Chain A
Amino acid sequence: MFQSGFSSYILVALQPGNVLACFVGALVGTLIGVLPGLGPAAAMAIAIPLTLKLGPTAGLIMLAGIYYGSMYGGSTTSILVNVPGEPASVVTTLDGYQMAKKGRAGAALAVAAIGSFVAGSFSVVALQFFAPLLARTALAFGPAEYFVLTVMGIALLSNLTGKSRTRTLILMMVGLMLSAVGVDPIGGLERFSFGIESAQGGLSFIAITTGLFGIAEVLSVLAEGEKPMEVLPVRFRELYPNREEMKRSVGPMARGSVLGFLIGLLPGPAATMASFASYGLERGISKDKEKFGKGAIEGVAGPESANNAAAGGAMIPLLSLGLPFTPSTAVLLGGMLLLGVTPGPFLLKEHPDVFWGVIGSFYLGNIMLLILNLPLVGIFAKIVRVSPKYLLPVILVMCAVGTYADNSQLFDVWVMLGAGVVGYVMRKYGYEPAPLIVGLVLGPVMERSLCQMMIISVGDLGGLWASTLCKVMWGIVAISVFLPLLIRAAKTVRNGGGGEKTVTIGPG
């Protein structure tokens, strides 16, 4: 039934009005993605009144276009100016920006776009064929499982930048601590807000990310008086990835797609986590770990595929169970209800035109986005050659406007500026800010799930390893913590105590 429906209704997506809605959505999404700050959830909420006038199919196609389009644009500013357009592209700054410095901005942008396309297409195929099968994955996760999952995330990503595990862990802890600012999610007590009204809601994740990267970048360029990047004039063909770069990207794209899709099935900030997880994975399995952080194309291809796949994965609990797990899918659900469409297993029966129209538009939208983004690569890649005296004010304004627009709080702009100063100092002393973002992302989930678990188990910590899933995850945590220690010990024994180079990688 699934397949016959597909062939007859795919035409819905190809109706001119729907194609246009898809294009507009994808274009707006790309712009939202490129702009730091303002994210897809806020943009979709603004677009809802307009989509109401379009009817359910076109309206939803447009909303969905904004949703996955934003995952395409996020990497652009990460690569070009070290400012992530979306939290899900934070990790892309690590290697993408280094590539741009080496004159490979075009290659990085193109690989990000191709990776997004591969992952987007993969996730829609998976969505179409495996949705009923995978829908229940998330239900195996309760508060206890989420808590252990966040612990696992911290353990696995503790070597994220490969420089110093201690520094990475310190920054993750700082991120966790910052996430505790504001009214606590369980008891409603105010913490660390110092009587500042706007701080009651916590420090804005967007503001901190934009500050640590965007504003800090502006400050460090100002401080160092950097000249525009010395980019060698490249011929058109060299703008795009060469054969070797493409070859090296295939594996990361494939792994990023699968990993991102699976993470997307779970609640929480899936796209951001997926990109970090993919980076960690690529770095972990790479034979040449040294090149990460210095412009490894794998560090762009993997995460940029993963965040798109996660966006697709998150559609499964929404479409099959009506459960929105991310702010963006919550807005999509709201949009569906407003348009008179109820998601769930009967969506296919009651509104086959809507269901297949939207699925079809995913295929179409991904192709459009690829066509839209690849020619832009040439234009965008020139940005790195623009003199800082023009570029910096633009970045500053974009960061401020985007941060303010996210929740209309001036306080967020102050947080952003503060984070910018901190980010500048961190860079000066060799602290890469990406791990702090990991802490900030995981913190709220970690805190809430631990409290919920403790309430459910009436204070018994045993609930943390009650289920098999928890036990398996604890096992992974144990392996990731102790294996490097054991390897080092083994090496020390073999070398007779001369573990010279391992000092920088080892914990503590």
Chain B
Amino acid sequence: MKRKVGSMGETVISAFLFLLAVLPAWGSTPAVAADAWPVKPVELINPFAAGAAADIQARKLAEIISRDLGQPMVVRNVTGAGGAIAYNEVHRAQPDGYTLIWYSGAINTLAARKQIAFDYRDFVPIAGIGAEPVCIAVAKDAPWKNIKEFIAYVKKNPGKVTIGNSGMGSVTHMVPLAMAAKAGLRVIHVPFGSGIAVASLMGGKIQASSQHPAEVFSQVKAGEVRILAVSGSKRIGIWPDVPTLEESGIDLEFDQWRGIAAPKGTPKAVVDKLAPLVKKAVESKEWIEFASSVGSTPQYRDPAAFGAFVAKVDQYTREIMGNAGLLKK
């Protein structure tokens, strides 16, 4: 530990006092005019559970942004129904810049499956933060050395190989779906939560699992799990030896993107103030190091570019889902 003991003691005390103050006040959000935004803490609603890959990134980024924002950016988890509850809440919230969404591919998949009655067009894009691939993981003693061998095996055994994902219609489900469609495979998709899917993989209950890197990288490091391929356009820093699907001859590139958005009608002043702060945070050494360590590739996108990007992914998601018969009319 680098910190001196004395100063740490003080930090602990102030942290505790802050916690006592924050606990009862949590969740109260009186309406305030947006001219001098922000004059009170800004809530970043995270549709995913505390502790998950998406959550730790939200918390880290919120912490960095808070330093320049003048007010704390507080992450609040609103879980349930694959993220639909969180999106509904933000969609309904006052567009005053105090309620933001930790935006990701969930908006595309939820809308495509009609689990929410609106889509990306009902949100104001603020900034794109980056993307993380989906990786195809197998147990350490699995017989396949690479993704090509795996695909050859699935071809020989149609409808027999099980691939666990983190939930029906999730981005981790899209990748094996699209992979199966492109390579002409028949696989069994098993919807799991994240932790149990990895345990089932290690226990040999399923043959493969499609996961975000952050959910498996400690098992990979421990040699319990091997990664056959990642779904992004480039290899990722933590696994320089793992090829992309495209390198392995499968014409598929599908990342989980992340960013920040606000409900439609949020003043442009909020976007103009926040976007540069996000840019600064995303391009900071601290963020680049942290994001890379959990398998994410930082890439800032300005509001316009981010909006166009989300629209493009929406189109592609619907295409994949349409092919798999998952699109709700």
Contact = CB atoms under 8 A, between A and B. Distances in A.
Interface stretch (B23-31, B272-280, B308-316): B23-31
Interface string B168-203: 110000000000000000001111100110111011
Contact of A53 (B13, B15, B162): B15
Among B2, B79, B80, B167, residue most surrounded by chain A Cβ atoms (within 10 Å):
B80
Contact of A49 (B23, B63, B85): B63
Contacts, number: 205
A286 interface: no
B205 interface: yes
B115 A183 contact: yes
B79 A28 contact: no
B52 interface: yes
Interface stretch (A149-157, A335-343, A432-440, A482-490): A335-343
Contact of B203 (A43, A140, A182, A408): A140
A374 interface: no
A261 B214 CA distance: 28
Size range of the chain B interface in the assembly: 35 or more
Contacts of B80: 182-183, 200-202, 407
A267 B159 contact: no
Contacts of A43: 23
Contact of A201 (B85, B167, B198): B85
Interface in B1-47: 1-3, 5, 8-9, 11-13, 15-16, 18-19, 22-24, 26-27
Nearest to A451: B191
A249 B3 CA distance: 45
B18, B77, B169 interface centre (most CB from chain A within 10 Å) = B77
B220 to A, nearest CB: 10
B284 interface: no
B15 to A, nearest CB: 4
B240 to A, nearest CB: 18
A57 interface: yes
B227 interface: no
Given A321-B224, A322-B218, A332-B51, A197 B195 contact: no
Interface string A20-38: 1100100110000000001
A404 interface: yes
Given A20-B12, A322-B219, A456-B205, A333 B19 contact: no
A334 B56 contact: yes
Most buried by A among B18, B85, B206: B85
Given A54-B12, A408-B78, A186 B188 contact: no
A225 interface: no
Given A188-B115, A267-B195, A325-B195, A408 B218 contact: no
Judged by DSSP, the binding face of A is helix
A200 B80 CA distance: 7
A141 B12 contact: no
B88 interface: yes
Contact of A52 (B63, B78, B115): B63
B195 A334 contact: no
Contact of A24 (B15, B60, B219, B221): B15
B49 interface: yes
A353 B1 contact: yes
A479 to B, nearest CB: 26
B1 A346 contact: no
Nearest to B326: A188
Contacts of B11: 53-54
A458 B205 contact: no
B55 interface: yes
B59 A49 contact: yes
A46 B22 contact: yes
A254 interface: no
Given A188-B82, A338-B56, A342-B218, A17 B8 contact: yes
A185 interface: yes
Nearest to B16: A24
Given A321-B202, A321-B219, A407 B12 contact: no
A64 to B, nearest CB: 14
A24 B24 contact: no
A37 B312 CA distance: 42
Contact of A324 (B2, B195, B224, B294): B195
Contacts of A340: 293
Given A55-B3, A139-B199, A401-B24, A17 B50 contact: no
A43 B16 CA distance: 12
Contact of B82 (A52, A140, A183): A183
B199 A15 contact: no
A5 interface: no
Interface of A: 15-17, 20-21, 24, 27-28, 38, 41-55, 57-58, 62, 138-144, 182-183, 185-188, 190, 197-198, 200-202, 267, 317, 321-325, 327, 329-335, 337-338, 340, 342-346, 353, 401, 404-405, 407-409, 452, 455-456, 458
Nearest 9 Cβ contacts at the A-B interface: A201-B80, A142-B205, A322-B218, A330-B51, A334-B51, A139-B203, A17-B8, A45-B50, A50-B15
22 contacts: A20-B13, A21-B8, A24-B15, A41-B51, A43-B23, A45-B51, A49-B62, A142-B203, A183-B84, A186-B191, A188-B115, A188-B168, A190-B81, A201-B79, A321-B202, A330-B51, A331-B50, A335-B51, A337-B56, A338-B60, A346-B222, A408-B26
